[in-house]
């Protein structure tokens, strides 16, 4: 079990307590991204059963998850956000599903919104026609999907992964820092022939956006950049090229509108300065992403166009 945290002492009590109550025996590794809020002292005092690994720097969720994965010696590794609490049978339900479906490289949970207890956060990740990923069933009633099924991708907020499968496809993309690491990894698992399952009996409650405000420029930057990087690494070439061209055209259009004094949505995603930062970072990482694209293609048994054809628009 890996929990990644940064300055999250105020969140960890309920999270770790819910793990202490699990019906299935397990080990918890807390990957602490150099918190300065007393996290280590709190865990040592209140949860001595939890192993703490201090990374020495803020590596984000993606980097922290990759560091945690390197420490795992078991066939499976579970992930739980530090702002989530799990029902006592959560881990057992995930493991039961994974063992019943040996073709599954990951099993994702039923995530319920803490601020709206009767409402779903997600039941995994779906693939849009654009090639981007998004939460499946966001805003739907909590009991909307009672049966387990196959879904395009897992949510990194609460899932069980097959350790060897994840390592074989390259693990978590640490350079992403935040967001889209689960969608990217789901793409690569599928291209390696693995499946992803949803298990409705594995229930967690999630304080959505407790760590990073989704209306912030920080969220917009990492989300938009990592969307483009994921497509460049994993998706069909035409899909990646179209998304990049659309991002460029939209950025230019928004800049012109502002220069002419015309109105434009005043949200971070549509601010030219934010989008230019995204483009600069994306272009700096493009050689790496293209090299990764070639590596992923060589290691894959399923073409990107096959994954896209099967999953794009499904359940969206």
Domains contained in the chain, number: 2
Cα–Cα nearest to 39, from 71, 75, 12: 12
Are 154 and 274 in a shared domain?
no
What is the biggest distance separating any 2 CA atoms in the chain, rounded to whole angstroms? 62
pTM of the model: 0.96
Q: Are 107 and 202 in contact (CB under 8 A)?
A: yes
Residue-wise pLDDT for 126-170, tens only, equals 999 999 999 999 999 999 999 999 999 999 999 999 999 999 999
Domain region containing 170? 2-206
Are 189 and 245 in a shared domain?
no
DSSP for 28-85, written as a single string: -EEEE-S--SSHHHHHHHH-TTSEEEE-SS--HHHHHHHHHHHH--SSEEEEE-TTEE
Residue at 190 is within a domain: yes
Are 179 and 300 in a shared domain?
no
Are 8 and 145 in a shared domain?
yes
| pLDDT exceeds 80 at position 209 | no
- pLDDT recorded at residue 177: 98
- pLDDT recorded at residue 212: 65
Residue-wise pLDDT for 271-301, tens only, equals 999 999 999 999 999 999 999 999 999 999 9
């Amino acid at each position: 079990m890996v929990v990644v945290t940064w300055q999250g002492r105020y969140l960890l009590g309920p999270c770790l307590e819910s793990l202490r109550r699990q019906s299935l025996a397990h080990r918890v590794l807390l990957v602490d991204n150099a918190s300065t809020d007393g996290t280590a002292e709190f865990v040592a005092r209140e949860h001595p059963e939890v192993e703490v690994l201090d990374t020495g720097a803020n590596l984000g969720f993606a980097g922290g998850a990759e560091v945690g994965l390197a420490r795992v010696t078991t066939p499976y590794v579970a992930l739980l956000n530090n702002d989530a609490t799990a029902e006592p049978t959560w881990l057992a339900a995930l493991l039961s599903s994974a063992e019943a479906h040996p073709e599954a490289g990951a099993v994702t949970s039923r995530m319920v919104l803490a601020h709206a207890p009767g409402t779903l956060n997600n039941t995994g990740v779906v693939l849009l026609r654009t090639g981007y990923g998004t939460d499946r069933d966001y805003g739907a009633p909590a009991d909307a999907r009672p049966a387990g099924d196959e879904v395009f991708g897992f949510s990194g907020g609460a899932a069980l992964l097959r350790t060897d499968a994840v390592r074989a496809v390259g693990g978590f993309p640490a350079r992403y820092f935040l967001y889209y690491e689960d969608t990217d990894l789901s793409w690569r698992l599928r291209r390696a022939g693995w499946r992803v399952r949803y298990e409705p009996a594995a229930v967690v409650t999630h304080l959505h956006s407790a760590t990073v405000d989704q209306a912030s420029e920080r969220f917009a930057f990492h989300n938009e950049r990592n969307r483009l990087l994921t497509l460049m690494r994993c998706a069909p070439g035409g899909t990646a090229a179209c998304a990049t061209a659309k991002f460029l055209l939209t950025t230019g259009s928004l800049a012109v509108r502002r220069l002419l004094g015309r109105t434009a949505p005043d949200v971070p995603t549509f601010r030219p300065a934010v989008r230019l930062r995204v483009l600069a970072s994306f272009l700096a990482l493009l050689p790496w992403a293209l090299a990764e694209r070639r590596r992923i293609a060589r290691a894959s048994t399923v073409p990107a166009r096959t994954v896209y054809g099967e999953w794009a628009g499904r359940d969206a």
